[in-house]
Structure 1
Amino acid sequence: MPSATHYPSPPREVWTSEEGSMARETAVTRWPKLVQSMVDDVDETLGLGESGCMEGCQIDEGRDIQRALRTLKEDIIQDQALRPLQSDGRPDIDGFNTKLASFGQTITWHNCPWLFAECHLYRFTFFSLSESPFWRAYDVFARQKLNAFVASHAAVEELCERYLSVANSDAFATTNTDHEAQQLLFLEMTEVALWGNATDLSLLSSTSLDQIHALQGTKAIQAGQARIVSNDMAAAWDHLRSCPKGRVDIVLDNAGFELFTDLVYALYLLGAGFASAIRLHVKSIPWFVSDVMPRDMDVLLSALTDPALFSGANNQSVRAVAALLNAAYQDGRLAIEEHPFWTTGLDFQEMPVCAPDLLETLRQSALVIFKGDLNYRKLVRDAKWPHTTLFRQAIGVLGEAGIRILALRTNKADVCVGLDEQTLERVEKEASKKAWVRNGRYAVVSFSDGR
């Protein structure tokens, strides 16, 4: 691999001190509300526990957790300095504190690198829970994730119907000689996976249920291509069609409906013959509200077979897809993998030094699909690149690390690369200079062959 000196230094990463930035809005407005939602979730669980299913020490520990979270909320509101994290036995704490010290100045919640500070926030939350044996395995976002999936039941049913119809079509298998039909199907299924994160729960507070439904389903798929402002789907198609069938890795983003779209996409890649196995990379601790943890897979598979959730005319289709997923999960074609690197405060370009084992694992994959906004920001270092910067340049060392990367990302933060000048001019007229990178209505599909 070329030395890091071969790559130009990226621009400064986005800081929360930048007036008018989404980072600033997040620090001042969203983070306090987010932490309060955690306090409220613990309170709801404590209320249930006080009815007799929780011991007194567990209730006391829950109150301690709430106090710690309230202190964090006040630190954010009052723009206090980020505090070093205390050790809870996991090896990542030293990395967080070393990174915090590396800034060479006291950074406060309203004057800090946005991406690192948000990772620090979620890691502090897990530390607060991990002090208690009872609360260590508790997910303060589990209710939100399940509720959002239940609210998406109509889209789940429609996607099941659509998948079963295409799985029986002539274009489905790679043995078919109609390559144009195969490519069109690949484009559609990839677009389903792309727009699945329209229900990112960390931004859901400003999105109504009607808006969620409007972002899911057939009409959104048909309109989606015009809103992909940098589109490398054709290059990804050429790569998958030409490379030997092997393992495909998906670095997951959100649970709920997006996870379901990812699983349907995995079924498509397996069934169409583009992959022999799919490895799903998940977070090991609650992360960025809605990120997938191992238990979220079990919750989703269970929900699909729950007659109280899916009892309408399309119930048979939902059960059929659930059976396909369960079969692939049980025989190992679908597998869950965890790695501590995914929940560090580091960007992905630090993987060769900080997680070489993970890098080697991803090199062995035919294609690594990075889902969602957070993974995209970590790929490009959350740096203030000009929007016309090439994706390959923005991912630095990963562009020549031997990893075949496909990033599927709806735009929900100010960092975005890969546009040509004409497209940039168009979207800035359509949605204003800032909105198109923040409102989730535009997206990028970015591919790198790793060479």
Structure 2
Amino acid sequence: MESTNPSASLPPPLRGMDSGAFTRRTITTRWPRIAGRVIAENDFPDAINARIQALRDDLPDGSIRPLRDDEAPDAALWAEYTAPHLGKTWLEVPWFFGETYFYRRLLEATGFFRAGAGRQSDPFTNQKEQGLTHTEDRIEALAQRRSRARDEEEETRSVLTRLLRSSLWGNQADLSMWTAEEEGPDHKNSGQAEEHLLVDDTPEALAQLKRCDRPARIDILADNAGFELVSDLALIDGLLAAEAVGQVTVHLKGHPTFVSDATVDDVHDTLATLANADEASVRALVGRLHTALATGRLRLRDGWIWTSPLRARELPAHTRAEIARADLLISKGDANYRRLLGDRQWDVTTPFAEAIAPLPVSVLALRTHKSEVAAGLPSARIDRISDKDPDWAVNGEWAVIQFAPADPSPEARRPSLTI
């Protein structure tokens, strides 16, 4: 809980015990189901499966306890993160803490950081691989569109606008919400997708790049592996083809989490898989990305911060200094959006730039709505949508492209004090 004066006026964080039905259902139903799939889809020894089952049985009324894999490189960090919540139930703690803690407890149970059968074994590999395999046709179509745009030398603004939308709607593919075999949210055509775009600040983001007096650096907070990652890679390819962009840095998760969240290994594995595709345009896309990696125009970074329960107002100084080097930060997906807004119960009409944590970089959030956290939405339209689609905030059908300029104040460059 922040102790600075501005924090006193912030709305409370979401919790399973006092917020919407979706938050509670995540804790009581979705997390146990995810733990069950980890048991079913891996050939772990009985001792590991027993630990996973114990975690599953602990939900939702068990108590938060310290992690027990003291040899893990993030053990000291998690000792600090859990300290304020020890003894509370899963429903009592802030939802964002609970969710990141749940996935970290899964890795404790599988022995991800210990010597043994589960060491460095991604418990979500099966789902990630299926997520890529089941979207081969969409991947080919995306690569073919990139190839045509390059051959026909399409105008950069229109290319980036289209790629931002592809990257946005790629976020509908989320294996923590829908398994690879399930039919998740989708739109029949581009017109229907446009109707479901609640806010579109694409022009503001492109104008930000145009204002740079040198080739821009763009940072991306990545979200899911599978088709979403491929759509992000296509966006990166388009950005690097633009004269206004000099470098793209992608921030990925330091360990498997949220089922399908992408790690550095997932990027390399995805590129290796697509390099063997039958479609020439897919192989060409991979070739350009490999060249960008080799020349340093594309950089992959990971860090414990992106698997931590820290919300954006609490980002440490070194993380703020790193993202401050970028001219634009593109935030992908629901969990990153929740981090930016502190996973708090904002009135959805609160201006996005007001709700987002003060940051020393301009932010463009690409997010499909899969949780009850939102800001910057048009009041009249939300009223109409709520009447015809009561689950609009969580069903992945609706989306935003929201921009907030860099905060120039000194506070944007240092974290809020915590207690």
Q: Same fold (TM over 0.5)?
A: yes
Say if 1:30 and 1:342 are closer, same or farther in 2 by CA, change over 3 A. Answer: same
Instruction: Name the structure 1 match of 2:349.
Output: 388
Q: State the match for 1:233 in structure 2.
A: 202
Confirm or deny: 8 A CA contact 1:188 1:221 kept in the other structure: no
- The aligned counterpart of 1:109 is 90
Distance 1:98 1:357, change over 3 A: closer
In the other structure, the counterpart of 1:179 is none
Q: What amino acid sits opposite 1:437 in the alignment? A: A
Richer in helix (by share): 1
CA contact (8 A) 1:92 1:344 kept: no
2:70 aligned counterpart, secondary structure: coil
Q: Residue type of the partner of 1:101?
A: A
Q: SS of 2:331's equivalent? A: strand
User: Counterpart of 2:364 in 1: which secondary structure?
Assistant: strand
Equivalent in the alignment of 1:49? none
Deviation of residue 19 (structure 1)?
Answer: 6.6
Specify whether residues 20 and 369 from structure 1 end up closer, same or farther in structure 2 by C-alpha distance, changes over 3 A only.
Answer: closer
Could you list the runs of 5+ residues in structure 2 that have no partner in the other structure? 408-419
Structure possessing the higher radius of gyration over alpha carbons: 1
Hey, what does 2:410 align to over in structure 1? none
Q: Paired residue for 1:339, among 280, 303, 308?
A: 303
Aligned residue identity for 1:439 = N
Matched ranges for 1:33-44 at <5 A: 33-43=33-43
Q: State whether structure 2 residue 371 is matched by structure 1 residue 421.
A: no
Of residues 320, 334, 337 in structure 2, which corresponds to 1:376? 337
By how many angstroms is 1:379 displaced?
0.5
Q: What's the secondary structure of 1:280's corresponding residue?
A: strand
- Partner of residue 411, structure 2: none
| 1:144 alignment counterpart | 127
TM-score w.r.t. the length of structure 1 is: 0.84
Letter in 1 for 2:309: G
Separation (CA, whole Å) in 2 of partners of 1:347 and 1:324: 35
- The answer to whether the 8 Å contact 2:130/2:180 transfers is no
Any idea what the Cα deviations from partners look like across 1:158-216, whole Å, max 9, x if unmatched?
001111111223434xxxxxxxxx4333321110111111111101149734x56x45x
CA deviation after TM superposition for structure 1 residue 94, in Å: 3.8
Structure 1, unpaired ranges of 5+: 47-61, 173-181
For residue 100 of structure 1, report the CA deviation from its aligned partner: 3.3
CA distance in 2 between partners of 1:232 and 1:185 (Å):
16
Compute the displacement of 1:448 (Å): 1.3
Q: Which amino acid aligns with 1:282?
A: L
Q: CA RMSD in A?
A: 2.1
Conservation of the 8 A alpha-carbon contact between 1:369 and 1:406: yes
Aligned-pair distance for 1:7? 6.1
2:128 aligned with 1:167, yes or no? no
Contact 1:245 1:366 in 2 (8 A): no
Q: Is the Cα contact below 8 Å between 2:131 and 2:180 reproduced in 1? A: no
Q: Distance in 2 between matches of 1:431 and 1:299?
A: 38
| Matched AA of 1:348 | A
Shift of 1:423: 2.2
Residue aligned with 1:125, SS: helix
Partner of 1:208: 182
Query: How much has 1:429 moved relative to structure 2?
Result: 2.5
Partner residue in 1 for 2:368: 410
SS at match of 2:219: strand
Q: State the 1:284 CA deviation.
A: 1.3
Corresponding residue for residue 96 of structure 1: 78
Partner of 2:414: none
Contact 1:7 1:397 in 2 (8 A): no
- With 336-345 and 382-391 compared, the bigger mean Cα shift is at 336-345
Inter-CA distance 108–7: structure 2 relative to 1 (3 Å threshold): closer
